[in-house]
């Protein structure tokens, strides 16, 4: 049973193959991840503050850059890959994302219905100061 190298995260030394593969040092991998993260962050600030882009496309561009930023962090810093030894990590990540989405959706539903569910005031509210 041979394992292909595309299932390895950068810097992941847990999978050993039959042939000798060059292994990047941890410092190099984290440096590449840091440079990518800083570049994506700087690009996000540029997209948000430039007048060269179509104004309606800026939120979509920021969303794409945010997803790319999450991908960089997952691969270079958390070493999440599609390899068979990372199944539990991927499942835990998916469960965490599901919980966050459920909490966000529940909060939005509660906030949307909060105003309609409040009892109206019984009378006009006087905001006079009494001395």
Question: Residues 73, 95: one domain?
Answer: no
Question: Residues 24, 35: one domain?
Answer: yes
Question: Residues 50, 97: one domain?
Answer: no
Q: Structurally, how many domains does the chain consist of?
A: 2
Tens digits of residue pLDDT in 62-77: 999 999 999 999 888 8
- Report the C-alpha gap between 120 and 46 in whole angstroms: 46
6 domain residue, yes or no: yes
125 domain residue, yes or no: no
Question: Residues 61, 3: one domain?
Answer: yes
Tell me if the pTM is above 0.75: no
pLDDT of residue 20: 47
Tens digits of residue pLDDT in 91-114: 888 899 999 999 999 999 988 888
CA atoms within 13 A on the CB side of 127: 0
Q: Is the pLDDT of residue 29 over 50?
A: yes
Question: Residues 12, 73: one domain?
Answer: yes
Domain, as residue range, for 106: 84-115
Handedness of CA 89, 94, 95, 99 (dihedral sign): positive
Query: pLDDT > 90: what percent of the chain?
Result: 37
Q: Which residue do the tokens 């068979």 mark?
A: 84
128 domain residue, yes or no: no
- Are 30 and 76 contacting, i.e. CB atoms less than 8 angstroms apart? yes
- Are 39 and 75 contacting, i.e. CB atoms less than 8 angstroms apart? no
């Amino acid at each position: 049973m041979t394992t292909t190298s595309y299932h390895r995260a950068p810097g992941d030394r847990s999978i050993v193959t039959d042939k000798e593969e060059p292994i990047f040092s941890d410092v190099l991998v984290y440096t590449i991840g840091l440079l990518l993260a800083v570049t994506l962050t700087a690009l996000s600030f540029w997209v948000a503050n430039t007048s060269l882009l179509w104004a309606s496309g800026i939120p979509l561009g920021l969303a794409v850059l945010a997803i790319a930023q999450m991908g960089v962090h997952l691969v270079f810093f958390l070493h999440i890959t599609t390899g068979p030894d990372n199944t539990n990590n991927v499942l835990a990540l998916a469960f965490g994302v599901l919980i966050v989405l459920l909490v966000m959706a529940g909060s939005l539903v509660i906030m949307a219905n909060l105003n309609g569910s409040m009892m109206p005031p019984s009378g006009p509210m006087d905001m006079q100061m009494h001395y």
